[in-house]
Structure 1
Amino acid sequence: MKTLNKKSLVSAFAVVGLTTTIVACTTVNPYTGEQQTSKAASGAGIGAIAGAVVGAIADDGDRKKGALRGAAAGALLGGGIGYYMDVQEKHLRDRLAGTGVQVQREGDNIRLVMPSNITFGVDRHDVRSEFYPTLESVSLVIDEFDQTNVRVYGHTDSTGSDAHNQTLSEQRASSVGQFLQAQGVTGSRISTFGYGEKYPVASNSSAEGRQLNRRVELELQPLDQQ
């Protein structure tokens, strides 16, 4: 039977403290920043502690990473899907602040909107090297919270032919998906889709509107929604 030495056990509990604020009945609401009392938080805290210890024991190669994943999975079991997604959203908002990537919450799903002007060059589908650190931060959180699947959507404006826009949107979604996988996110969790110019979020009659329509979106969905 695998066991934790004292140093590894302390590390496992430290990971819980660093990755969540749910080790007691009083917790911090990810949206308001206010303290609140929650049964879900209490259950998630207990689950996170247990999961961190089990995860650290199970992962001989990287006990810290095992503890991180175990804590996230334990929070899911103890606090429910909604709270699990709350914590994941908080991590993403912290990491993506000031990057230009929008973090949106839709029920139990999280959507990341990445404007093309910071993600890709004009009419290109390879990810800008300047955007690598941001996408690496996204990958770290997605890898840690492995009870979600990732759907990558590519969108364009209406400039150019329908066929060209469809191909470009598919290529851009695929590039982001491949980048995530190269960073360690399990490939079976990732699906990519190209929608061309079909789903604009603004009018294509202005430069500002076209810029908003050129985007890649990541939707993070709990596994039970698949």
Structure 2
Amino acid sequence: MFSYIQLQADTIANAASNVVVENVASNTEISVLGFILKGGFFLIPISILLFYTFYLIIERYLYINKASKIDTHLLKDVSVNLISGKLDMALAIAERSNTASGNILKEGVQVVGRPITEIESNMDRAADIEIGEMEKHLGQLGLIAGIAPTLGFIGTISGVIKIFYSISVTENISIGNISGGLYEKMISSGAGLIVGIIAYSGYHLLNGKIDHFALKIQKQILEFVNIIQKS
């Protein structure tokens, strides 16, 4: 009889402990959004910078991708009309392309008949303008790459200051109190670094596309000048 009562007591104790463990586990569970929101106030500007970074990258990519297209037949069509003496037709073909390379060729066609150095200089200036249009707002990506991690770091530092202030007031130096507050504030540092990496990567990838276009357009200018010299 005694052993039966002992068995029942052990069963009840085990069930109670399981309930406590389950309740603790359920209470410690947290969603990803809830975890992120523990980062504090500085996550607000970091989030704004994240959305603005994506906007800049997408907008600049679409613009650069469209403007930097070089039609391999464009220069050939323009040169054929130039050799035939049809300057108006060559100019119309260049304008119709609606690309950066077409605008640069148009500037060259407009000064055909003048010294070669003047033609080349005119086209180089047009190329600089088109590249400048492509680079517009890219500096902001570089700025975000530096600002976002700094904001995250400031958020962490402010959180650490609050933790130590709380310790000085309450004199509670428990590991749970320190680590709990610290991990929450380090979320802002992690978020700032992620935004900074995205902005930094976008900045250099887009600049790489612009550099590639600049190289191709210089080859096109050289080819155009050679055609003028031979005609």
TM-score (norm 2): 0.24
Q: Point out the structure with max Rg over C-alpha.
A: 2
TM-score (norm 1): 0.24
Bigger fraction of residues in strand? 1
Q: Which of the pair has the greater relative contact order for Cα pairs under 8 Å at 6+ separation?
A: 2
